[in-house]
């Protein structure tokens, strides 16, 4: 009977194949995950991101056929990869903003939660056992070593645990893009029958000239499209450069990037000079937004006219919806 250490190798191979296939089938989801997770800037190069699914598939196949020293090399590589993923999801859970992964496409939960961290920790354990198997000469195809019954049972339990954690969805979890969490949707405008126009909260923002302004007062002068961004936010880096363009195109609506932080944070988004407001204590962000990047349209009547929406794709779609609304012949003031 083959050694039970074959099962961790099989587990890692199957997980890599699932993850790689999901990334190849939906590259956009992979891009959103990279934007959402705290991936180091030097690892965000488009060619590098596109190569991740191919690397995962290749490692999975290599685990199945490698033996000897080659198997030791590939298992160490898999351990390093899974450890890196564990660090990313752990940092994401500990961060101030919700993150999404979508690592296994429709099979798993899109949101990064504590269950995601547990899942990745179990995968790291499986990868460690895979290294042990390789060092001991255990391989998938020529598995010849004998194992005790308890060992097989333990390894089987590990494989089952990984499968459950990979496909786990938290109670009440919605797929990415579901309107219930404001992600991946353009949200509503004042023309939508089911959009309830909430009252604009009494919050203050800091202008780039150092003045504190009351949002309701500024909105009474002209409708305001607020785009909330943070420093060191990958998804925000995709949206922030578009704010000056939107400001020029969406008149009479005034467009502002709202940086969650003080003016010193503008260094991460130099293109926003002249188009930025600041939310030093995050009060406006908590009252109006659902994360970063996010956007909300404030009407001149003291009511929200659209949003909030969250996510770079959702923000771009929302702005396009506002643009179409402005071009409509029945446009009302402040909408």
pLDDT in tens, 249-300: 888 899 998 988 887 766 667 778 888 899 888 888 888 876 788 899 999 9
List the domains of the chain with CATH numbers. 6-176 (no CATH), 182-327 (3.40.30.10)
Q: What's the token pair of residue 297?
A: 């349209």
pLDDT of residue 129: 93
Between 219 and 143, residue with greater pLDDT: 219
Of 103-117, 135-149, 309-323, where does mean pLDDT reach its minimum? 135-149
Q: Is the pTM of this model over 0.85?
A: no
Tell me: pLDDT of 160 over 90.
no
Q: How far apart are CA 79 and CA 175, in angstroms?
A: 29
Q: Which of 326, 161, 166 is nearest to 251 (CA)?
A: 326
Of 23-32, 71-80, 99-108, 235-244, where does mean pLDDT reach its minimum? 99-108
Q: How confident is the model at residue 229 (pLDDT cuts 50, 70, 90)?
A: confident
Q: What's the token pair of residue 291?
A: 């994360």
Q: How confident is the model at residue 194 (pLDDT cuts 50, 70, 90)?
A: low
pLDDT of residue 187: 43
pLDDT of residue 296: 93
Q: How confident is the model at residue 155 (pLDDT cuts 50, 70, 90)?
A: low
Q: Does residue 278 contact residue 294 with C-beta atoms inside 8 Å?
A: no
Q: pLDDT by residue (tens digit) across 165-188? A: 555 555 444 444 333 333 333 344
Mean pLDDT over each residue of the chain, to the nearest integer: 77
Give the strand order in the sheet containing 204-207: 212-214, 204-207, 276-278, 254-259, 224-229, 294-298, 304-310
Number of CB atoms found within 10 A of residue 211's CB: 10
Tell me: pLDDT of 329 over 70.
no
């Amino acid at each position: 009977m083959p050694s039970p250490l074959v099962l961790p190798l099989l587990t890692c191979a199957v997980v890599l194949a699932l993850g790689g296939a999901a990334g190849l089938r939906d590259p956009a989801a992979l891009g959103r995950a990279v934007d959402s997770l705290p991936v180091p800037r030097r690892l965000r190069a488009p060619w590098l991101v596109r190569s991740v699914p191919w690397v995962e598939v290749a490692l999975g196949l290599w685990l199945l056929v490698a033996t000897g020293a080659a198997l030791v090399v590939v298992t160490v590589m898999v351990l390093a990869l899974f450890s890196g993923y564990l660090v990313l999801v752990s940092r994401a859970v500990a961060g101030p903003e919700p993150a999404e992964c979508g690592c296994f496409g429709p099979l798993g939960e899109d949101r990064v939660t504590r269950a995601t961290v547990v899942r990745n920790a179990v995968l790291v354990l499986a990868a460690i056992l895979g290294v042990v198997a390789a060092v001991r000469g255990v391989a998938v195809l020529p598995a010849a070593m004998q194992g005790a019954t308890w060992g097989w049972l333990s390894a089987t339990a590990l494989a089952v645990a990984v499968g459950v954690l990979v496909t786990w969805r938290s109670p009440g979890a919605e797929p990415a893009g579901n309107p219930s969490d404001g992600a991946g949707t353009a949200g509503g405008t004042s023309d939508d029958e089911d959009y309830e126009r909430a009252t604009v909260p009494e919050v203050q923002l800091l202008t780039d000239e150092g003045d504190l302004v009351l949002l309701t007062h500024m909105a009474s002068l002209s409708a305001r499209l607020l785009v909330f961004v943070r420093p060191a936010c990958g998804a925000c880096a995709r949206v922030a450069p578009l704010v000056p363009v939107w400001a020029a195109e969406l008149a009479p609506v005034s467009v502002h990037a709202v940086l969650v932080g003080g003016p010193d944070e503008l260094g991460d988004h130099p293109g926003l000079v002249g188009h930025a407001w600041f939310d030093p204590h995050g009060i406006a962000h908590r009252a109006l937004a659902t994360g970063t990047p996010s956007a909300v349209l404030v009407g001149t009547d003291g009511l929200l006219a659209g949003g909030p929406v969250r996510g770079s794709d959702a923000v771009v779609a929302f702005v396009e919806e506002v643009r179409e609304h402005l071009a409509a012949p029945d446009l009302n003031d402040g909408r």
